[in-house]
Structure 1
Amino acid sequence: MPGWLEVTIRTVSALVLILASARLLVRKNLQHMTQTEFIVMAFFGAMLGIGAVNLAIPIVFPLLGFFIATLILYSLQLVKLKSRTVRFWLQAQPVPVIKNGKVLEEELKKQRLSSDDLETELRRKGIFQVQDVEFAMLEETGEIDALLKKDKQPITPKDMSIQVGNVKETETVIRDGKIQDEPLNRLGFSRRWLEEKITQKDYTIDNVFLAQVDRDGQLYTDVYDDQLKQSPPTEKQALYTTLKKVQADMQSFSLQTENTQAKQMYAVHAQELAELEQNVKPYLLD
């Protein structure tokens, strides 16, 4: 066999094996790999790389070494799931670097981290002032996870005793100008429905780069040509949209208020508006 052909076969085989082992043993991207996982993958690459270009080495030797190493690593991962002791010896343990709002300088020295490293990792989390952090941990991947002080945390609807509805599931129904039938079917909509919605925006399917729809049938579109403008809604469409918005507002008010009488009133009006919407829909969206 010509040398160039043998090198090609060995190289392709080595790449396939490395990719397969990465999928089996390290199901994460490079920045989230632990030190042990990174070393093992580098070992695989070096072993198979040498076997791919050094034709004096029988191909069976690097392949044998690869399968033995893969078997050992896979076995260790299974043992790690059941033994905390093995996990302790094979992977670094999370270490606190900020506690009760105080930077732990001694821990930073032990982990060979500078204050610059700490600030850099915090900025990656969107935190630009160390004084805002209540607690921070250095994870085994080298990332720092931080908990903001209570008065620095974003306000949530729960903090304000506001009830909010569930997040609506959204599916991508057009990708690169092609209709995605499976997600469209999961939402319970048809191709004809989607084409009608796109036509209402004065687009064609081929114009649309990306389109997403939620459970309520709300459609978002992004077109290839950013200069392409959709026609403004007609008076009927604008009226229908306003009617839906008022109905949604009434429903939201009924969930937010603590007054029983007001809650009942908003709920009744929301139901009446929903019925009105269904009655006028054929006339406003003809």
Structure 2
Amino acid sequence: MEIIIRTIAAFVLIMIIAKILGKHTLTQMTYYDFVLSITLGAITGNIAFNTALGSGHLTVALLTFGGIAYIVALVTMKSRKLRKWLSGKPTIVIESGKILENNLKKLKFSIDTLDQELREKEIFDIEEVEYAVLELNGKLSVLKKQQYRQITQKDLFNLSSAQAKKSQFPIELIMDGEVVSENMKHDGMSPEWLAQQLNERGLALEEVFYAVRGTNGSLFFDLYKDHIKHPVDPGNEKSN
């Protein structure tokens, strides 16, 4: 029982430390991945090399932590709030071409680091950036201003038909079948408006797995039933 309690306490403490360290220290891992990796590695290393500690106790600790990780994985699949707490959430650091200094400060993310991340994406002039988001894995995602993007056939069509619009940040409306009320409220969208959009498409809320308003203002809905009889399995594809 003492080993189980110590293992649970270690999990909680390392999660707190990971959050204090900030996203940019985690490279390609989320908070949860970071904690899981170092804790399992440490316990496994002790089982292999630390003869001063009983292997039975360390095995109990490893199995306990593995059980915690498994239960957490199951619960987070159904709970967006728990996912956000464990892994954090993306943070906007540039919005409408403006650097959000307070967000950088909260993330312990310096302007030098921001410039470096942009240069790695071949962006040497920050004025080219419309939006920049620090993702869960510590990577920076960038949406350039319209005049600095590569032109596609759709862009040419929009220009020729006078349909070009100013880009906006994509807003997630439904995730895992649940309405993201905070996003809708922040952007002035009402539940009635969403219900109307669903009704116009002949959809019910319980049918929708994911919905987002894209950068051009268009709505995208992904349903639980995809009606794909034979999904592609990359592992079974034959090489030419």
TM range (shorter): 0.5 to 0.7
Write out per-residue CA displacement over residues 184-232 of structure 1, whole angstroms, 9 at most, x where no aligned residue.
3xxxxxxxxxxxxxxxxxxxxxxxxxxxxxxxxxxxxxxxxxxxxxxxx
1:60 Cα offset (Å): 2.5
Once the two structures are superposed, what CA deviation does each residue of 1:71-104 show, in whole Å capped at 9, x if it has no partner?
A: 1111111111111221122121111110111111
Q: Counterpart of 1:97? A: 93
Return the TM-score normalized by structure 2.
Answer: 0.53
**1:143 CA displacement:** 1.2
Equivalences for residues 1-286 of structure 1 within 5 A: 31-161=27-157, 182-184=238-240
8 A contact 2:31–2:86 mirrored in 1: no
Larger relative CO (CA 8 A, sep 6+): 1 or 2?
2
Distance between the aligned counterparts of 2:131 and 2:50, measured in 1? Answer: 52
Local SS of the residue matching 2:89: coil
For residue 56 of structure 2, what is the amino acid of its counterpart?
A: V
Amino acid at match of 2:77: L
Structure 2: which amino acid aligns with 1:125? Answer: K
Q: Distance in 2 between matches of 1:53 and 1:107?
A: 43
Q: Partner of 1:89: helix, strand, or coil?
A: helix
Report the RMSD for the aligned CA atoms in angstroms.
Answer: 2.1
Residue equivalent to 2:188:
none
C-alpha offsets along residues 95-144 of structure 1, whole Å, 9 cap, x if unaligned?
11101111111111111111111111112222221110001111121111
The percentage of counterpart residues that share the same residue type is 38
Q: Tell me the secondary structure at the aligned position of residue 33 of structure 1.
A: coil
Provide runs of 4+ in structure 1 moved above 3 Å. Answer: none
SS of residue matched to 1:97: strand
| Residue 63 of structure 1, CA deviation | 2.0
In structure 2, distance between residues paired with 1:110 and 1:58: 42
Q: CA deviation at 1:55?
A: 2.1
Runs of at least 5 residues in structure 2 that lack an aligned partner in the other structure = 1-25, 158-237
Question: How far apart, in 1, do the equivalents of 2:106 and 2:72 lie?
Answer: 27
Q: Answer with 1 or 2: which has the greater Rg.
A: 1
Letter in 1 for 2:113: D
- Equivalent residue letter for 1:141: N
Q: Distance in 1 between matches of 2:116 and 2:31?
A: 20
Distance 2:49 2:125 in 1: 51
What TM-score, normalized to structure 1? 0.45
Shift in Å at residue 36 of structure 1?
A: 2.3
How many residues align structurally?
A: 137
> What's the CA shift for 1:56?
3.5
Which is helix-richer, 1 or 2? 1
